[in-house]
Amino acid sequence: MSHSTLEGQYFGVFAMLVIATALFFALVFLAKTIGNNYAAKNRKKLGLSSYECGPLPQKQANKINSQFFIFALIFILFDIEVIFMYPWALMYKHLGLFALIEMLCFFILLLVGFIYAFKKGALQWQSIN
C-alpha cells in the first residue's frame, strides 16, 4: 500500500471532523449572539426573583454529606470492574494462562483498593446530625 492511498482513506474522516468542529463553534456563537441581542433586558428585582407564596426563602446550610460522593465513586469503581471482567469471561478458554494471571493481578489490585477504602472508613455511612 502506498502512502497516497492511506492518505486518501482518512481524508474524508478528517474533513468531517473539521466541518463538525466549525459547525459547533458557529452554532455556539450564533446562539450567544441571538441571545444577547434579543433577550429581555428587564432587570427589575421582582421580575428576577423566584415566585413563591409565603415567607421569603432563606439560605440554608448544605445538608448533603460528602460521604455520599465517596461512596458513589467507590461504587462506580467496582461497577467498572465488571465491565473489564465481562470480555475476559467470554474469551477465557481462548486466552489461556497468561490472561488468567493478568486477571488475578487485576483482582488483587482491586482487593487492595477495597481494603484501603474499608480501613479508611469510606464504606461506613455517617450521619450528618
Compute, in degrees rounded to 10, the torsion defined by CA atoms 60, 65, 68, 71. Answer: 160
Spell out the domain ranges in the chain.
3-42, 66-120
The answer to whether 15 and 7 are in contact (CB under 8 A) is no
- The angle formed by the CA atoms of residues 30, 31 and 34, to the nearest 5 degrees, is 85
Compute CA 129 distance to the chain's CA centroid, rounded to the nearest angstrom: 30
* Model-wide pTM > 0.85: no
Query: Percent of the chain beyond pLDDT 90?
Result: 19
The answer to whether 97 and 36 are in contact (CB under 8 A) is no
Q: What is the average pLDDT value for the chain, to the nearest integer?
A: 80
